[in-house]
Amino acid sequence: MHEGRFIETQVAAIRGEVGDGLAINALSGGVDSSTVTLLAHRALGRKLKTVFVDNALMREGEPQRVARVFKRLGVPVEVIDARRTFLDALAGITDPERKRQVITDTFYRDVFGKAVRESGARFLLHGTILTDIEETVAGIKRQHNILAQIGIDPERAYGYKVVEPLRTLRKDGVRKVARRLGLPAEIVGRIPFPGPALATRIVGEVTPPRLATVRAATAVVEKELERSRAFQYLAVLLNDCATGIREGRREFGQIVVVRCIDSRDARRASVRALPWKTLARISRRITAIPGVNRCLYDLTPKPPATIEYV
């Protein structure tokens, strides 16, 4: 693939499709949605509205980082503060399937759907890639009908159009285009991060204090392992507690699991044999987080385990 040619072709195609209309897209800060944002910005300029939804489930400093990157690139991004909406929707939910469903529904139906309707845009740009389409066909991924998800029923959907400029690329192709478009390394090389974000890193209820704990643990793991070049590394907060001793007293503390895997495409994964010195340092830093007194390392490949816990 010639990235320069791909960019030219897609910019022209987006312009051709949208014409004089208004388009909207949701930027998550991942490489796919960031690339779509830049392509569409080149094609449409001020006729593109890009929204970034702060769902309260992001990593430390993530909303600020994304806003800063796009400001520097001259792309206007509207930040929607939906933290309260997500936290309220998640309160009391412990079942993992329901948790994911609630996040999807809150995002598409309540937050992004509202932004689409209010914008008057008829064109939705979306970062679907070839692997998404293949996995949907193979029955691994659930079918996403984005228009239905944002609450536009098929009867009224006439006139709306979903535009997917990355649908012929795989992840490595997207990264090349992203680099060519001038996206910084922190976005181009970002390790995979699931849409429901830190909520998939919490077993049990998602609450602000538990988010703070897993966010702190995630920051430790990402800092300590950024040079590992592993496919993915993450921290998970369990719901169980275990006994420990702090300052001579028996306490009942929280448990954090560290996972670091190698993989080509996330379909299968093997466990990285990290140096014991690194593991000891991670354990020390994680058990320094208030309320945490255990740090475990996940020894399970995929399959039989998945990469995430929820």
Residues of span 272-291 touching a copy of itself by CB under 8 A: 273, 276, 279-280, 282-283, 287
Element (H, E) at 237: strand 232-246
x/- track of binding to a copy of itself for residues 202-241 (CB under 8 A): -xx---------------------------------xxxx
Q: Does 294 bind a copy of itself (CB under 8 A)?
A: yes
Among 166, 253, 254, 261, binds a copy of itself (CB under 8 A): 253
Rounded Cα distance, 68 and 286, in Å = 28
Q: Are 189 and 30 in contact (CB under 8 A)?
A: no
Q: Does 155 bind a copy of itself (CB under 8 A)?
A: no
Q: Report in angstroms how near the CB of residue 247 gets to a copy of itself at its nearest.
A: 9
Query: Cα–Cα distance between 97 and 56 in angstroms, integer?
Result: 19
Contact 91, 82 (CB under 8 A): no
Binding segment (CB under 8 A) for a copy of itself, from list 25-33, 67-75, 189-197, 244-252: 244-252
Q: With respect to a copy of itself, which residue has the nearer C-beta, 199 or 295?
A: 295
Shortest Cβ 175–a copy of itself spacing (Å): 26
Give the CA distances from residue 227 to residues 166, 189, 230, in Å, rounded to whole numbers and listed in that order.
Answer: 29, 12, 8
Does residue 304 have a cis peptide bond before it, meaning omega lies within 30 degrees of 0? yes
Q: What is the C-alpha separation between 282 and 229, in angstroms, rounded?
A: 17
Size of the site for a copy of itself (CB under 8 A): 43
Distance of alpha carbon 193 from alpha carbon 307, whole angstroms: 11
Burial of 169 (0-12, 13-18, 19+ CB in 10 A): buried
Q: Which of 13, 171, 271, 285 binds a copy of itself (CB under 8 A)?
A: 271
- Decide: is 305 part of the binding site for a copy of itself (CB under 8 A): yes
Residue pair 299/271 in contact (Cβ under 8 Å)? The answer is yes
Beta strands in 32-142 (DSSP E): 48-54, 77-81, 123-125
Q: Minimal distance in Å, beta carbon 295 to a copy of itself?
A: 5
Q: Looking at residues 34 to 93 of the shown chain, list those that interact with a copy of itself (rule: CB under 8 A).
A: none
Closer residue to a copy of itself (CB): 123 or 233: 233
Least gap, CB of 60 to a copy of itself (angstroms): 22
| Beta carbon nearer to a copy of itself, 129 or 255 | 255
User: Which residues of this protein are in contact with a copy of itself, per CB under 8 A?
Assistant: 96, 203-204, 238-246, 250, 252-253, 255, 257-258, 271, 273, 276, 279-280, 282-283, 287, 293-306, 308-310
